[in-house]
Amino acid sequence: MQQSQKPLRIAVIGAGIVGAATAWELIKVGHAVTLIEPDEPGGPQAASYGNGAWISPASIIPMSMPGLWRKVPGYLLDPSGPLVLRWTALPSLAPWLLRFLAAGWTGQKVEHTAGVLASILGDGPQRHALLAEEIGRPDLIRRTGLLYAYRDREAFEEEGLAWRLRKDNGLQWRELESEELRRREPDLSPGYRFGVLVEDGAYCADPGAYVAAIVQAVCARGGVLVRAHADGFVLANGRLKAVTTDRGQVDCDRAVICGGIRSKALARAAGDRVMLVSERGYHGVIASPQAGPRFPIMPSDGRMANTPTAAGLRLAGQVELTHVDAEPDWSRVEILVQHALKTYPALGPRERLKVERWMGHRPSTPDGRPVIGASSASPDIFHAFGHGHVGLASGPITGRIIADLVAGKDAPVDIRPFAVSRFSRSRWRMASGAT
């Protein structure tokens, strides 16, 4: 590839963690960057604000695994389970769900996805530490390790496939027996007698403040923040001239779609059909807890991140599939809180806890891989969205990939598995065996 020789005017649509990190990588190499974002960067409207705050190289296991289809009915009938589907949304979600199940139908498919995700997650903690240092907020990234807590070794071994995939992709960890687990986390319920410590893992002490700080650093270097909704593109002979917004055009030479759940419509405007839904997630933050984890923990029976943050103990998890504009089901937060009370008995009675509630939209593809690369309508429009559960962890490398593509360089990883072309009807027929 021939490298770009001059700075370009680049519009980055969306100021979540992926958009902010992308803008930072672009402005570092001298491009004129305009961030287009209707809301406050780092604000509670964004998935980046409310995630579990984990930066984990272990998060390579896709949601869809072999045999999941057998468990789905049980999940859907259990109102307290980690996966909830609102039946009224089933007709519109059915195509995505079918491809979601197909993505994890065989061990071979899951092995492939795990390897693909490892390529963008493996050095996530290091990339975040560097980014935080560059913007002057190293305090926000804490490399303390991440702990997976199990009732016993047998419960750990029941997840053998997931841990084998992690090992095959280079992850290392340390196993903690009961006594050592107690020393590390004295407030953890004695019902947990085995742990797996991913020592290379990190977390963000305040994801919202982190995103805001990156955007502030971009603006300090000359970047511009335009508070508007992007809704399309102006093209002439296949070349980009501007991004259209509800407040007028933003003239540019290149554009990057990092709009989270809003990216589906923008991708369509850029000539691409994308399967993208909201895996709605919830969190509850217990302010000033009197007990809880010293460092981030994921109890295996709860499937939630328990993370000490600047605002308090964040309990993040749950997957709810429904229409994007459906009203929140705040009982999902109470499920998280009740599980935490059992996990850390010293938290005290529920009525004494002050809990902040949040719901947001993970932009998720059925195969668990983000969409990264050039659009079909123009080589000047790039996709960088659909990161699902790994947006925070993979934000910096996504920004690096886009900056390299804009410069005409080879990306630091193989981006073919992230291509938008995998959603074409012909590709779907080949992948599913349909005729």
Supply the pLDDT for residue 259: 97
Confidence band, pLDDT 50/70/90 cuts, at residue 66: very high
Question: Does the pLDDT value for residue 328 go beyond 60?
Answer: yes
Q: How far apart are CA 66 and CA 120, in angstroms?
A: 23
Question: Does the pLDDT value for residue 1 go beyond 70?
Answer: no
pTM of the model as a whole = 0.95
Q: How far apart are CA 129 and CA 165, in angstroms?
A: 26
Q: How far apart are CA 136 and CA 312, in angstroms?
A: 23
Supply the pLDDT for residue 391: 97
**pLDDT-above-90 percentage for the chain:** 89
pLDDT tens digit sequence for 245-287: 999 999 999 999 999 999 999 999 999 999 999 999 999 999 9
pLDDT tens digit sequence for 278-296: 999 999 999 999 999 999 9
- C-beta separation of 110 from 66 below 8 A: yes
Helix axes 124-134, 17-28, angle to 10 degrees: 60
Give the helix/strand (H/E) hosting 291: none
- 3-state SS, 36-74, equals ECCCCCCCCCCHHHHCCCEECCCCCCCCCCCCHHHHHHH
> Rounded to 5 degrees, what are φ and ψ at 128?
-70, -40
Q: How far apart are CA 189 and CA 317, in angstroms?
A: 20
Q: How far apart are CA 352 and CA 346, in angstroms?
A: 12
- C-beta separation of 348 from 245 below 8 A: no
Neighbouring CB atoms inside 10 A of 295's CB total 17
Give mean pLDDT, residues 324-331: 94
Give mean pLDDT, residues 150-165: 97
pLDDT tens digit sequence for 69-118: 887 777 677 777 778 888 888 899 999 999 999 999 999 999 999 999 99
Domains and CATH numbers, the chain: 9-432 (3.50.50.60)
Give the helix/strand (H/E) hosting 417: none
Query: Of 202, 49, 205, 199, nearest to 137 (Cα)?
Result: 205
Q: How far apart are CA 51 and CA 45, in angstroms?
A: 12
3-state secondary structure of 257: strand
Question: Does the pLDDT value for residue 222 go beyond 80?
Answer: yes
Supply the pLDDT for residue 5: 59
Supply the pLDDT for residue 432: 40
pLDDT tens digit sequence for 48-59: 999 999 999 999
Query: Of 295, 390, 389, 289, nearest to 340 (Cα)?
Result: 289
Query: Of 58, 33, 78, 69, nearest to 146 (Cα)?
Result: 58
Q: How far apart are CA 3 and CA 12, in angstroms?
A: 20
- 3-state SS, 121-151, equals HCCHHHHHHHHHHHCCCHHHEECCCEEEEEC
Give mean pLDDT, residues 217-230: 98
